[in-house]
Structure formats: C-alpha cells, structure tokens
A = this chain, B = another copy of it.
Amino acid sequence: MKNLYKKSSIILGLSMIDLHDSYARLVYALFITTNHEKKRDDVISHNVQAIILAAGKSARVKTGKSKLLETICGQELILYPTRLLADLAIATLVVTGYQKEHIEEIIKKQHGDSITFITQHEQHGTGHAIACTQDIWSAEHILIINGDIPLVTADIIENLYTQHIASNATISFVTAHNTDPSIGYGRVIKKENVIHIIEAQEFHDDPAEHCCINAGIYLIKKTFLQKNIHDIKCNNANKEFYCTDLITIASNQNEPIHTITVPFDRIRGINTLHELWAAEHIKRSELITYWMNNGVRFCLPHNAHVDLNVTIGAGSFIGSGVHLLGRTTIGTQCNIAPFTVLDNATVGDNTKILSHCVISNATIGNDALIGPFAHIKQESHVGNQTVIGNFVEIKKTIIGDNTKAKHLSYLGDAQIGSGVNIGAGTITCNHNGIKKNKTIIEDQAYIGANTLLIAPVTVQTNAFTAAGSVITHDVPKNALAIGRSQQVNKEGYALTMQEKKQKKNESTDESLDNHTAQSFIGAVRTTHDASSTIE
C-alpha cells in the first residue's frame, strides 16, 4: 500500500504527461460522484467551520501576482477550495493579505457575500494567520486548509471529518507519501513518541525514509485551538509562526492525533509555475478522460485544452490542439478540427468547425459549417446550415439560417437574414469615424463580391448588389444596386510600357522609373470617356 502511494506521487516534472492515469480515473470517478450525485450528510456543515489561508506572498512564482489569481482550467486557484467548501456547505472564512483586493473580488463574484474575509496585515506565518481569525471561531471543529491545493476532493474532507469524529481526535490532518527530495513539503516525523512536522527548509534527512508529507489540511477542536494558538513560537530561520507547531504541542500534551493518507496528486500544492503546470495538467487530463468516457473522441488529447465548465456532446470529435475555454458548450456529433479555439462559444448539433478558427462569445446553430480560418466574436450568432468560410470575421452580427459568407469578408454590427449570399470580399463599413452603425441584409439577398455596405444601410429582401459596388443608401426589395465604373481596354498598352521600361533601364533617371510605373498600373487617372488618353 505504501508502495502504491510512493509510486503515484513521484513528481515527473516536464513528464507529468505520464502521471496518474490509472489513479486519476479512480479519483475522478469519485470526484464526479462527489460533485453531482452524492447526497451530502450535513452534520459536517453544522460542526465545522473552515479557514482558508490565502494571504501569502507567492514569492516563488515570480510573476508579480498572487499565485491564487492564476487559473487552472479556466478557474482561479483560490476558487477551488472555496467552491469545494461551498459544495460541502461548510461556513468559510478566508484570510487574505497580499493582493487581497483582487482575491476578494474573485471570491465575491463567485460566492456573493457568503464568505467572510479577515485581513492578515503582515505575513508572520500560518500560525499567525490563524490567530487573526480567533474572534470569529464558532463551530466545534475548525478546518484549516491552504488556499493553493486545488486538486483536493470533497471525499478527502468528508473522510477527514468522519475519522476525526470516530477517533475523537484533537487534531486530524491529511498526509501523503513522496520520496522526491526536491519538493517543498513539510515532513511528518515521529521522534521519541512526539509527532513533528519539519518544514522543507529545515529538513536535512533522507527523504526516502521520511516520505510522509504534510498536505496542509487540518481539522482541530476549537477548544484546543483557543487554548494553544498563542503558544506557537517563531524560533525558526524565517522568524515565522508555523501552524504546524500545533501538532507538536498537541503531541506533547498527549492529545489524540489522527492522520488520513491520500495520494500525493490530490494534495499537490502550488508554489512555483512548474507545480502550477503539473496541477493543471492533472486537472485537464481528468476532464478529458471524463469526456472520453462519455463518448467524445479526442485525436491527440495531450494537445487539447478543456476548461472546467465546458460541456461536450456524445459522438463529437475534438481535434489536436483544440482549446475549449470558459463556458463553451458543444452539441452532439460535432467535429472541431485542429487548432480551433472556442471561448464561451455555444455550438449546436452536427456542426463542423474546421481548423484554425477562433470563436468567442458567440453561438453557432446546428448543421453549420465554419472555417477554416473563420473568426466569430462578440455576441454574434450563426444560424443553422449556415456556412462561414475562410478569412471571414464576424463581429456583433446575427446571421440567419442557410446563409453563406465564404470568403474574405468583414461583417460587423450587422443583421443578416436567411438564405442570404455574401460575396467574397464583402465589407460592412460599420464605423464612420464617429460611431458604429448597423447594416441590415434581409432574407434571400445576394451581395456581389467586394461590395462595401456603408452603414446605416439596408438591403431588402431578395435584392442584389453588383460586384464591386459601394452601397451608400438602401436597396429596395427585389432591386439591383450598382455603383461601379465601366471597364475600358487600352489596346497595346503593355507594349508601349515595355518600351518605356526599356528606355528607363538604359537611362539612370530614377524619376522616369516612377513616372513610368505610376502611369503603368497605379496612378492611371481613369476617365469615363473611353477615348481619353492616359497622362
């Protein structure tokens, strides 16, 4: 048994890839049960009050922001324990300090006012952080949990509580096994019948022998805590008050201490970006495995990214490198091709999104065909059976069913009906230098290639625009709008040009070059009299 834990807890660093599968599946099964099906015993919520430690400086991530604001599968680290405790209906208090405004804002956005905050103004260690909360202790047992261990499941907390009560322990805490010498966890060590937790920087023994590590989750009787919280000393290198000293104090008093041991992967803490990545990798793998088990085929799953709040219908295919972000929802029997990024997108059933698309904050109907290289965003909607092709941008635009916009177009601030054909190169000129205006294209309209639609403008039902036209006023139902110049052919022009080019090559006159060139193709001033000469 010990062996199993050791095995499952090896940190493989950049090789996280090959972590945890058989284990993860097991744990994930529990996780799913935990969150969606199991009915909670609410004894725990009456007897337990939780304190989340979230005040630390995050010095080792070196990003300039609190690690608790970093996301794992789209959710900030700090919300993992808060949501876990909310699921368990345990009253929760968060100790904040470093970047407290940001952390509290995120928690409030998720939980409203249901969570209490205490500020630890100066960071003197976890023991000091707990002491700051003393006035608010009310439940019989106080659950203390580090804010940076996102993979903990409800089962672990429930199990800790059940065993804490059953063993009538004064302190219960969670441990795991890991022999890696490089990890920064406190080691649980028994010396002369007293249990100590030796912090990583003070541990100099053989990590293989002392492989029992402290997870940072404690359940403590309030009475014990009240009596002893101020007995913690700061006689260590960091001059900090460690809450882990409470274990030694209890042990010295012969108070009953209980531990539960869980797989290391479940209690991974995040102190570096390397650890953050490892934890996200595990979470992402669990999510992908979950969807695989529910009928979603992934081509190269180690390249895909799936956020926590995504849902995917059975029979859908997710290509290599696809990113499903935010609250993206994909229907059944869809095909999302490689390198496509969906962010808060809703996709209907049987829809095919080809490679290299970016769709954010938009909805796509059923049986639609999108991409490759389509970009749809900002509350746009694409209807059923509608085709959006390559190099097309759609912004704040509603498009009906059976419409086609297949090539090189920009459709912004527009309302487009059903059965419409949008020619290649169509541009809605929504911005006029002052504000944005709307373009309306009604059902069955046919927009010729390279049409410019100067908003506000309406092309009515069944109307047409000729290719290359600039549409500045409304096109009535069934009408054809034209706005372009007539073609004129200048015969033999190329031959004249070649002569000039020849001459230019023989001379050294640079201005001649440009003059030639301008009149050649570029600066030709067209007139509407076919007989007029080129300057």
Contacts and interface: CB of A to CB of B under 8 A. Distances in A.
A157 interface: no
B476 A522 contact: no
Contacts of A299: 277, 280, 305
A241 interface: no
Copies in the complex: 3
A534 B432 CA distance: 16
A456 B523 CA distance: 9
A379 interface: no
B487 A481 contact: yes
Given A305-B320, A393-B407, A513 B435 contact: yes
Interface residues of A, number: 139
A497 B444 CA distance: 14
A524 B472 contact: yes
Contact of A432 (B314, B391, B517): B517
Contact of A514 (B301, B372, B421, B437): B437
B17 A15 contact: yes
Contacts of A294: 62
Contacts of A472: 487, 518, 522-525
Contacts of A504: 434
Contacts of A432: 517-518, 520-522
A289 B14 contact: yes
A25 B14 CA distance: 10
A62 to B, nearest CB: 3
Interface in A228-283: 272-274, 276-277, 280-281
A513 B295 contact: no
A482 B21 contact: no
Contacts of A455: 522
Interface string A496-535: 0100010010000000011011101111111110000000
A354 B448 CA distance: 31
A296 B63 CA distance: 7
Interface stretch (A88-96, A116-124, A130-138, A463-471): A463-471
A393 B390 contact: yes
Nearest to A510: B435
A226 B156 CA distance: 57
Contact of A493 (B274, B449, B479): B479
A373 to B, nearest CB: 7
A353 interface: no
A63 B314 CA distance: 5
A437 B467 contact: no
Interface string A293-330: 11111111111010000000011000011010000000
Contact of A274 (B292, B300, B476, B501): B292
**Which one of A341, A389, A504 has the highest number of Cβ atoms from chain B below 10 Å of its Cβ?**
A341
Interface stretch (A43-51, A191-199, A361-369, A422-430): A422-430
A295 B274 CA distance: 10
B470 A468 contact: yes
A285 interface: yes
A494 B480 CA distance: 7
A213 interface: no
Contacts of A483: 484-488, 526
Nearest to A337: B341
A472 to B, nearest CB: 4
A535 to B, nearest CB: 10
A209 to B, nearest CB: 17
Interface string A336-355: 01110100000000000011
B517 A491 contact: no
B482 A490 contact: yes
A358 interface: yes
Given A288-B14, A450-B450, A429 B467 contact: yes
A492 interface: yes
Nearest to A64: B315
A40 interface: no
B480 A452 contact: no
Given A15-B21, A273-B297, A429-B448, A480 B471 contact: no
A317 B375 CA distance: 22
A440 to B, nearest CB: 14
Most B CB contacts (10 A, CB to CB) among A11, A285, A372, A521 go to A521
A18 interface: yes
A11 B18 contact: no
Given A13-B21, A454-B522, 16 more contacts: A14-B288, A14-B302, A22-B180, A272-B293, A305-B320, A391-B393, A407-B410, A408-B410, A433-B446, A466-B521, A470-B484, A470-B485, A473-B489, A479-B494, A481-B487, A484-B526
14 contacts: A14-B285, A22-B180, A64-B333, A272-B292, A273-B296, A277-B298, A277-B301, A281-B300, A373-B391, A432-B517, A464-B520, A475-B489, A479-B490, A486-B526
